[in-house]
A and B are shown apart, each in its own frame.
Chain A
Amino acid sequence: MRVFVYDQSFEGLLSVIFDAYTLKCFPSHLCGRGDLHYFAGAHVVATRPEKSGRVFAALCRKLSTEGLHNLFLLWLAEESGGDLLLFRHLCKVLQHGGIAENDPADADALAVRRLARKVARQAEHYAGFVRFQKTRPGFVRSGSDGVIAKELYLAIIEPQHNILPLLQRHFVARLGDQLWAIYDAARHYGLMAEGEDVREIFLDENILHHGGLREELLAEGEEFMQEMWKSYFQSCAVRERVNPSLQKQLMPQRYWKYLTEKQIFRAFQL
């Protein structure tokens, strides 16, 4: 059993590949620095830009555009064992060229495609399932203590994969004139954007409760607008065709937590 220890960054993984080829020794396990399985004989990989740069340049030559994008998706998957899968796959690509990407006999190539598709699909889902809530004025403060006058449209998500970077371009392109933020409550970071200007943000998670933000933080009229949406959602279904299993299949329940239209118990009292 050969173990390589690295810093679990993407550049780190590329450096692992570099070291593997230099030492002519291919690891069967990859560990992080803080991992419990820290073996005496393990090789510790130093992350160096000159190593990772060379590997990346080679990959750029050999992989198709789709293949390169898949690397990015796989990295965002944050699945356990994903780094080792990627390592094995990339070694094959370096050896056999881009043809290894589509080899149907290769279980790793297949697993890479599957996982990449899973991440991409989740990002597509979230492009639709993100629900912004308008916050009351003064919710956002900039730098020292200047209050930003614009109201923030804030959405909370809890995705399995780290899909926030994939959503950025989608929302920047369509919400150009409003201040918006999407917060990943599973990874405790978010993106806030105004026009093309995107920043990383952190929230005090006490302001959240089931279904989104606490009511006292919402802008005036926000709850009524949510009520409108819920009514629309109810009215547009055809009674003769009701099919809950199909609904769950197309919109899995793990997404419902922050979907406005699925927050029945918070129904607005008029």
Chain B
Amino acid sequence: MTEKTLEKLKILAAAAKYDVSCASSGVSRGGGGALGGTSGWGVCHSFADDGRCVSLLKVLLSNYCAYDCAYCLNRASNDTPRASFEVEELAALTIEFYRRNYIEGLFLSSGIIRNADYTMERIVSVLRLLRETYGFGGYIHAKCVPGTGRELIVQAGRLADRLSVNVEIPSAANLKKLAPDKDHQRIYAPMRLIKQGLEETSEDRRRLAHTPSFVPAGQSTQLIIGASDENDRDILRLSSMLYQRARLKRVYYSGFIPVNAYDRRLPALAGPPLRREHRLYQADWLLRFYHFEPQEIADDTYPHLDLNLDPKSVWALRHPEFFPLDVNRADYTALLRVPGIGVRSAQRILQARSCRRLGDEHLAKLGVVMKRARFFLARSGQSHMNINHLGPEKVRVLLMDEDCPDKTGRTERPTLFQGNFRAISK
């Protein structure tokens, strides 16, 4: 490994950084004297200066690209430094990093070299070298480029832990406009192939003793938020469909970063829409862990998420008739609807109320955030504090006072962003 590899690493890591996925969870394996294992919950090895977790060595195999997508730094018409890893070089680098516990494994994507199949073949050859020659057992997440055929999907699926095909732009029309070389057909076809492979494997597993694994950590995708004019209702409807019909493990949301400001097809943003991205992740959690339906979070009347309040509180304020709730009687799914009660605290409430009647003094100890939950729970002698007495408007103001700055820790001016956006898209 030489100075040249270092230069390539700098270019190809910077080129891959806009992909937000970093998970290394969902599969357990290891032992037996070999190199590499994975632990079911995933491990974060570091946190970069932007506060994102560094779990995998996330690089492109090459940032030469035949496509010309408006939102992408590596588009063919951009004049940026280009580089490509040799297959052997990248595999060796992964192993060296892994041995020092810098990383949990490899996240490999690539610009389109010549065509989809040629690119995918190169990606698969890195995976094969790592798994078969080096006997590497660590985590591998590989990207499937749009338009990959069945044969290569099967090969990649046998070697990788997770595969992903990025949808990027939620609607077909906007995708056509911003990425003329891609279309939804070419994106959803590989996604369906992966799903088929997963179903076949789980069926084989029922009949045969030894079934080779196929994408054991499932597939994921990424949506770019704010590069096109889809509203949150459209996005959540799409996510929910991807979870239910395509059986995806995760949908990632990436706030659009204007890397090609010169392209007039894109909105001019002051900065990435971090607040909106944060609210979408909260809504995504409601879909996956809180038994919410997408239309309960955003519908035709309210197509946008409230940027100032989390989506669960917003739902609660629109449904005062559901409250107040008695924590000693309410069932699990009802508890999950209360702002300030999460999956963990709801489970703890079920556990704890089997040994005593719960009062206010217990709830905080069980991890319930009382400053939010207090308006929605039936509490003896406190009926003047609940939502039906105060009214949703008043509670909303009180909740907003309590709403801490979002996880990104920044104060943004969402109204300004929305204003800009409308001006451009019309």
Contacts and interface: CB of A to CB of B under 8 A. Distances in A.
A242 B49 contact: yes
Given A103-B352, A228-B6, A110 B33 contact: no
B413 to A, nearest CB: 16
A173 interface: yes
B149 interface: no
A259 B57 CA distance: 17
A99 B355 contact: yes
A242 B50 contact: yes
Q: B-side binding surface: helix, strand, loop or mixed?
A: loop
Interface in B41-66: 41, 43-55, 57-58
B305 to A, nearest CB: 20
Nearest to A99: B355
B99 A231 contact: no
Interface in B8-51: 9-10, 13-14, 16-18, 30-37, 39, 41, 43-51
Interface in A168-195: 170-178, 195
B352 A241 contact: no
A241 B51 contact: yes
A228 B101 contact: no
B409 to A, nearest CB: 5
Given A102-B351, A132-B101, A238-B18, A250 B34 contact: no
Interface string A229-249: 101111111111111111101
B45 to A, nearest CB: 4
Contacts of A134: 99-100
B17 A238 contact: yes
A104 B366 contact: yes
Q: A-side binding surface: helix, strand, loop or mixed?
A: helix
Nearest to B38: A174
Contacts of B409: 243, 245-246
B416 interface: no
B280 to A, nearest CB: 16
A224 interface: yes
B102 A131 contact: yes
A155 interface: yes
B46 A104 contact: no
Given A134-B99, A232-B13, 17 more contacts: A104-B348, A105-B361, A110-B365, A128-B55, A171-B101, A174-B35, A178-B99, A228-B5, A229-B100, A233-B46, A235-B17, A237-B52, A238-B257, A239-B50, A243-B410, A244-B49, A246-B408
